[in-house]
Structure 1
Amino acid sequence: MDKNHNFEPNTSLSSVIELYYLDVDLRNLLSKYLYRIEVHFRTQIVYYASNKHHSSPTWFIDPKLVDRGFLDKLDDIYNYSFKKYNTPIKRHHQKYINDKYAPAWKTLEFFTFGQIFSLYKNLKDQTLKSEIAVKYGIKDVSVFENHISSIINIRNICSHSAVLFDFNQPLGIKKIPCKKFKLKTRNQTNLNASFRLILFILSKVSQNRTDELEASLKKIFTEANNSPFVSKIINSHICFDL
């Protein structure tokens, strides 16, 4: 389909359906592995920050530790969403009526991927941010932020059932510090680049899950290439090269 939404000549309905199911299969496959990355990332922030600020269970709302812009948004989220509709948080405040916030280990569990990433970006302690980035084999915090932001973009597409196969990252994916998963071409924005990034970050979470995802991707694309129409899309849009 071109930019004016015109189908290529001789496009059949069956070909469109094949492409549709490729997209669905990819979204469903990626979703569970992206969730593993999300949980792992949240856990690292809670672990490293809470241990560093162990005397402050609610360090995440301390203006000495977190930029004010994040805190202003958090007040609205917490008071008008968490305290009213989140059962564990509501129970905490029923039991501890003088607490303005529940401790980090309770509260941050309910942050979305985007919210927990926003908290990370707004941490004032650059050493702490670097320690978390190094956990994923990345020394440069700006590179790590680029990587997590790119993963969240894919996660949002999968969560909202948007079209995945021709997605391009708004910003190029910065260098992946891994020989196996580094980008082989100059294309830093296509879906193939995102696959390689997801596999790299996932390898810091679980090697078994990484091997599992890589094998599943190869299987999906091997089968999809049996269709000339879909194969053309794979080669022109996704450029899968694992």
Structure 2
Amino acid sequence: MRALIFTAIQSIEIALRSKVIHHVSLKHGAFWFADETLCINRTTFQDNLTQIRKEIKRSKEDFIQNHFEKYDTPDVPPVWKTLEVTSFGILSKLLYNLNDVNIKKKIAREFNLPQHVCLESWIKSIVVLRNCLAHHARVWNRRFSQKPSLSYSLRGNWIDTTNVRPAKLYALLSCLAYLQDNIHPNNDFKVRLKHLLAQYPNINTHAMGFPTNWQNEPLWK
């Protein structure tokens, strides 16, 4: 389960990074992440920039080393280099703290989501899930403190959220599956998940938040 989820999250992280770099840079330039006028919260902005500088300093990537051999200023590389060596958590925080709502809406629509606040809610939850996996924490029957918003009407195949517990793993797996379907329409995430659960029928799926007959939901067919 851990390996399956990690693979899906990695795919989502790459897609989000690409879209954020592309759309924000086209409008605000290569160093928008270091521009305080584009932030919602100044404290968050400073915290993000401090962490970015630390991650750049720690990086041993050749393209980072080569950059500083050629350029002295500014003290950070352009965003397409910088965000390659920063964490998923920092990427997500940069997105939340960006004050250009129109660009955030555009990015959300490319994931087939109706609102940027929906995308931000899902990404926040996925980052928490990823961190749990990275630290080998239990996730299968966990109650997550960060819950994805499930109240939006989505255009793509989705689930009946009436009785879904957003703090449980099933809600997050549904978000991952929905995003995967829009990033890679021919992905095998759902097939592999069903196969994994079928291999271990003794596992209590209710403890993970799976409702009865979940496989009949449009998302999972």
Alignment pair present for 1:82 and 2:60: no
8 A Cα contact 1:183 1:193, kept in partner: no
> What displacement does 1:178 show?
5.0
> What displacement does 1:214 show?
0.5
Alignment pair present for 1:239 and 2:216: no
Distance 2:155 2:129 in 1: 20
What secondary structure, in the 3-state scheme, does the structure 2 residue paired with 1:208 have?
coil
Structure 1 residue identity aligned to 2:206: N
What secondary structure, in the 3-state scheme, does the structure 2 residue paired with 1:110 have?
coil
Q: Which residue of 1 aligns with 2:219?
A: none
Distance 1:151 1:28 in 2: 15
> What displacement does 1:235 show?
3.1
Percentage of pairs with the same residue: 22
Find 2:193's aligned residue among 217, 226, 229. Answer: 217
8 A Cα contact 1:172 1:188, kept in partner: yes
Q: Which residue of 2 aligns with 1:173?
A: 148
Alignment pair present for 1:70 and 2:67: no
Provide closer, same or farther for how the CA distance between residues 78 and 34 of structure 1 changes in structure 2, counting only shifts above 3 A: closer
Distance 1:167 1:78 in 2: 31
Q: Which residue of 2 aligns with 1:100?
A: 75
Alignment pair present for 1:41 and 2:19: no
Is there any run of 5+ residues in structure 2 with no aligned partner, and where? 216-221
8 A Cα contact 1:108 1:116, kept in partner: yes
8 A Cα contact 1:84 1:90, kept in partner: no
Distance 1:102 1:32 in 2: 28
CA shift digits 1:104-146 (9 cap, x unpaired) = 1110111211100000011111111111111112222222211
8 A Cα contact 1:151 1:194, kept in partner: yes
* Structure of higher CA gyration radius: 1
> What displacement does 1:217 show?
0.7
Is there any run of 5+ residues in structure 1 with no aligned partner, and where? 1-25
Q: Which residue of 1 aligns with 2:171?
A: 193
Alignment pair present for 1:133 and 2:108: yes
> What displacement does 1:161 show?
1.4
Provide closer, same or farther for how the CA distance between residues 78 and 216 of structure 1 changes in structure 2, counting only shifts above 3 A: closer
Q: Which residue of 1 aligns with 2:184?
A: 206
8 A Cα contact 1:93 1:99, kept in partner: no
Structure 2 residue identity aligned to 1:219: H
Provide closer, same or farther for how the CA distance between residues 221 and 93 of structure 1 changes in structure 2, counting only shifts above 3 A: same
**Please, which moves more after superposition, 29-38 or 173-182?**
173-182
Distance 1:123 1:239 in 2: 35
8 A Cα contact 1:57 1:103, kept in partner: yes
CA shift digits 1:135-183 (9 cap, x unpaired) = 1122222222111111212222222211111122324432252563324
Provide closer, same or farther for how the CA distance between residues 168 and 181 of structure 1 changes in structure 2, counting only shifts above 3 A: farther
8 A Cα contact 1:57 1:104, kept in partner: yes
| Residues matched between the structures, number | 208
Structure 2 residue identity aligned to 1:182: I
8 A Cα contact 2:147 2:166, kept in partner: yes
Q: Please, what TM-score do these two structures have when normalized by structure 1?
A: 0.78
8 A Cα contact 1:165 1:238, kept in partner: no
> What displacement does 1:91 show?
2.5
